[in-house]
Amino acid sequence: MPLHLQTPYVRSPAASRRLGKDVLLKLDALQPSGSFKLRGVGAVCEARRAAGARRFVSSSGGNAGIAVAYAGRELGVPVLVVVPESTSARARDLIRLEGAELIVQGASWAEANTLAQSVIGSHDAFVHPFDEPLLWQGHSTMVDEMAAAGPKPDAVVLAVGGGGLLCGVLEGMARNGWGDVPVVAVETQGADCYARSVAQGRPFELPAISSIATSLGAKRPCDAAMAWVTRHEIENIVVSDAAAVAASLRFLDEHRILVEPACGAALAALDAESPALAAASRIAVIVCGGVTATVESLQALSSRDRVPGGG
């Protein structure tokens, strides 16, 4: 049995009524680790253990590290996770709660990743948070579940950080005959390396991450995410931190599920200007989850000057 669960794929009455369209939610926030990351991370960890790995080493902004720590505990393999200083105290606590060793290094994921790479021993396996074909294969299983459970959507909406979720979903869509369904790739301002890369036609590296959605905090998208632009219709949307936070709070009210702003970005895109979504009568949204947020933290962000009125 895989480490991840099959998750519900359900219609959102509130969003469907608001938009006048069918809005379907793939609820990967309900994975045991709290995010979709467990699909790909679990696949990688199981393969690495079978190949003889005695320790898993990973770098993460939060959710991937929690998933690796969970997988290691379930598989009986020690785990070391390196996170940047931007990773919340809650995320750090959750990684430790799973029994993993934790190191905090650097201002961004890139610096944390450099340290993680430097400590890999001969019996260790590195688990990349987003740039790994086996990881994408694991993430692609969510589309298999969506295709088996319901009708084909007219558009798929998801959040993008480094591109791991995007690559996995596109792989699953290709496998299930959804190659003609556009993908709406959503980021927050200040973590929008993918939109900038697509606009410039080459990988673009952000000088720093200024968004509160630190789970989207890769400075540069993986090359595979860039390659998909030539093979599949992808529309890029960038939303404000304010919109992402407000969407997370509204989702909590409407569906009683707490997600972090990185996931809220995808939910916020439903109300953004989008040719792909305007043309769609049935929209699927990947509710990727994230356990680094709390109700209190979202409310605090909503009331801050940079997020006036939460919207």
Q: Is the pLDDT of residue 212 over 90?
A: no
**Are domains 9-36+133-310 and 37-127 of this chain identical in fold?**
yes
User: 215: which 2 tokens?
Assistant: 């789970």
Q: What is the Rg, in whole angstroms, of the alpha carbon atoms belonging to the chain?
A: 18
Would you state the pLDDT for residue 215?
74
For residue 102, the cross-strand partners are: 81
Would you state the pLDDT for residue 293?
87
Which residues lie closer than 8 Å to 190 by C-beta, 6 or more apart?
A: 206, 209, 210, 211, 241
Model confidence at 5, in pLDDT bands (50, 70, 90)?
A: very high
What is the distance between the alpha carbons of residues 178 and 75, in angstroms, rounded to a whole number?
34
What is the distance between the alpha carbons of residues 292 and 93, in angstroms, rounded to a whole number?
10
Lowest mean pLDDT of 17-26, 197-206, 210-219, name the range: 210-219
Would you state the pLDDT for residue 304?
75
State the fold for domain 37-127: Rossmann fold (3.40.50)
State the fold for domain 9-36+133-310: Rossmann fold (3.40.50)
Domains of the chain: which residue ranges? 9-36+133-310, 37-127
Q: Is the pLDDT of residue 289 over 70?
A: yes
Q: Is the pLDDT of residue 93 over 70?
A: yes
Q: Is the pLDDT of residue 311 over 90?
A: no
- Kindly report the backbone phi and psi dihedral angles of residue 182, in degrees, each rounded to the nearest multiple of 5, phi listed first: -65, 150
Would you state the pLDDT for residue 49?
97
Model confidence at 117, in pLDDT bands (50, 70, 90)?
A: very high
